[in-house]
Structure 1
Amino acid sequence: MEASAEAEFRDFVRSRWQPLLRTAYLLTGDHGRAEELVQTALLRTHRHWRRIERSDAPEVYVRKILVNLHNTWWRRSRRPEQPTDVLPEPGGPDDDAYAVYELRDELWRAVLQLPPRMRAVLVLRYFEDLPEAEVAGILDCSTGSVKSQTSRGLERLRAALADPASPGIGSRS
């Protein structure tokens, strides 16, 4: 590939990475799988960049690749139904939308009771899915501090969810 075409491709990737990743995440529901999907789509796009670039629709092309790759992955990962003679037992909380909502609400209330720094560590690690080193950089602390805050925070959440009257959730560590 020519140097100018290579530079244009790199500019495209820099400017469109986040929107493409968001699309891939919405398709897959998994951050790791979404990144793999975008990387594979961009690799395929790179092979045909000169042809795509002329049509002035590189993002449309990449999104189409994302959808097709995801559909292929989904079809291959599907498992056929297995008929049985016995019906499954009535479900647990996953079968009751209200129970799922109540559990999520209970968890959120427990998270809000955590000290702010501990809450920030848990949100960055598990909601934003950031690695420990990046969380440490954002919070300006050591990786060990992130690990210990994560461990303590999860321990407090487990205790709060096991016993809602647990007084330990709001105390500092």
Structure 2
Amino acid sequence: MEFEEYASARGQELVRLGFTVSGDYQRAEDLAQIALMQAFRSWKKVQRADDPHTYVRRILINSYLSMTRRRSFTEAPAAEIDTEHTVPDPANDIVNSDDLWRALATLSARERVVLVLRYYQDMDDRTIADLLGIKPSSVRATASRALAALRRTRQSHRVDERLP
């Protein structure tokens, strides 16, 4: 597959992934562009990967995690989610919950990424571990901590009952 075909076929999916981890549509577009630019620069290497799409998703996730480590990075949950620019998805009834976004914003970037990959991207722990460069046991521990934090938030703020 040529890069142009890949970008056309998977670009919006990358924007959605960027949106689910960051909660911000403009940042999601930036993350998708960064991932696609880096993939373009080393397209021959990407094509040789076992799963090129996993390779590009890893670029996006690593870019987001790097972004959150910078001092200039600030994140405030939006009062309203801009649904006009999102692509329709069956998970929107849960994802569009303002309470859920506020709760997710309390998590660390890594915790949020693990939950998004596990529950929104439907990845298993081994795949998430490979994507993040950590052990599957670290994925399970991170997910457990994140879910416990969301449950505490739900109990104290009556967040949406559909959380796992």
TM-score tier, shorter chain, comes to 0.3 to 0.5
TM-score (norm: length of structure 2): 0.44
TM-score (norm: length of structure 1): 0.42
Higher helix proportion: 1
- The higher-RCO structure (CA 8 Å, 6+ apart) is 2
